[in-house]
Amino acid sequence: MYFNEMYDGDGVRPAYRALDGWMRDMPEELRTLKQSEAEALFRRIGITFAVYGEGGDPDRLIPFDMFPRVFTDTEWRRLERGIIQRARALNAFLCDVYGRAEIIKAGIVPAHLVYCNEAYEHAVVGFRPPKDVYSHIVGIDLVRTGPDEFFVLEDNCRTPSGVSYMLENREIMMRMFPHLFQENRIAPVESYPRQLNRTLASVAPEKCTGEPNVVILTPGHFNSAYYEHSFLADMMGVELVEGQDLFVEGDFVWMKTTEGPRKVDVIYRRIDDAYIDPLCFRPDSMLGIPGLMNVYRSGGVTICSAPGAGVADDKAIYTFVPEMVRFYLGEEPLLNNVPTWQCAKPDDLKYVLSHLAELVVKEVHGSGGYGMLVGPKASESQIAAFRAKIEARPHNYIAQPTLALSTCPTFVEEGVAPRHVDLRPYCLVGEDIVLVPGGLTRVALVDGSLVVNSSQGGGVKDTWVLAE
Q: Does 223 bind other proteins (CB under 8 A)?
A: no
Q: Residue 76 or residue 226: which is nearer to other proteins going by CB?
A: 226
Q: Does 423 bind other proteins (CB under 8 A)?
A: no
Judged by CB under 8 A, the residue of 231, 252, 320, 328 near other proteins is 231
CB under 8 A: which stretch of 103-111, 156-164, 256-264, 284-292 binds other proteins? 256-264
Q: Residue 243 or residue 430: which is nearer to other proteins going by CB?
A: 243
Asked if residue 436 lies in contact with residue 189, where contact means CB atoms within 8 angstroms, the answer is: yes
Enumerate long-range contacts of 236-242, CB under 8 Å, 24 or more apart. Answer: 236/193, 236/194, 236/196, 236/197, 237/197, 238/197, 238/214, 239/215, 240/215, 240/216, 241/215, 241/216, 241/217, 242/217, 242/218, 242/287
Q: Residue 133 or residue 233: which is nearer to other proteins going by CB?
A: 233
Q: Does 260 bind other proteins (CB under 8 A)?
A: yes
266-293 as b/e: b if 16+ CB within 10 A: bbbbbbbbbbbbbebbeeebebbbbbbb
Q: What are phi and psi of 417, to 5 degrees?
A: -145, 155
Number of residues that bind other proteins (CB under 8 A): 25
Q: Which of residues 33-72 bind other proteins (CB under 8 A)?
A: 43-46
Distance of closest approach, residue 205 Cβ to other proteins, in angstroms: 21
Distance of closest approach, residue 317 Cβ to other proteins, in angstroms: 36
Cis amide bond preceding 454, omega within 30: no
Q: Does 255 bind other proteins (CB under 8 A)?
A: yes
Strands 239-241 and 214-217: parallel
Contacts of 132 (CB under 8 A, 6+ apart): 91, 95
Judged by CB under 8 A, the residue of 153, 241, 303, 440 near other proteins is 241
Distance of closest approach, residue 170 Cβ to other proteins, in angstroms: 16
Distance of closest approach, residue 64 Cβ to other proteins, in angstroms: 18
Provide the H-helix boundaries in 177-304: 178-183, 192-202, 226-236, 273-276, 292-297
Judged by CB under 8 A, the residue of 47, 172, 240, 373 near other proteins is 240
Q: Which residues partner with 7 through β-bridges?
A: 12
Judged by CB under 8 A, the residue of 105, 185, 256, 326 near other proteins is 256
C-alpha 64, offset from chain centre: 18
CB under 8 A: which stretch of 143-151, 156-164, 226-234, 412-420 binds other proteins? 226-234
Residue 376 to residue 402: CA distance in whole angstroms: 8
Distance of closest approach, residue 131 Cβ to other proteins, in angstroms: 27
CB under 8 A: which stretch of 76-84, 235-243, 341-349, 432-440 binds other proteins? 235-243
Judged by CB under 8 A, the residue of 10, 148, 211, 259 near other proteins is 259
Q: How far is CA 226 from CA 59, 231, 232, in A?
A: 12, 8, 10
Kindly list the residues in this chain that would bind other proteins in the complex (CB under 8 A). Answer: 43-46, 220-221, 226, 230-231, 233-234, 239-242, 244-245, 247, 255-261
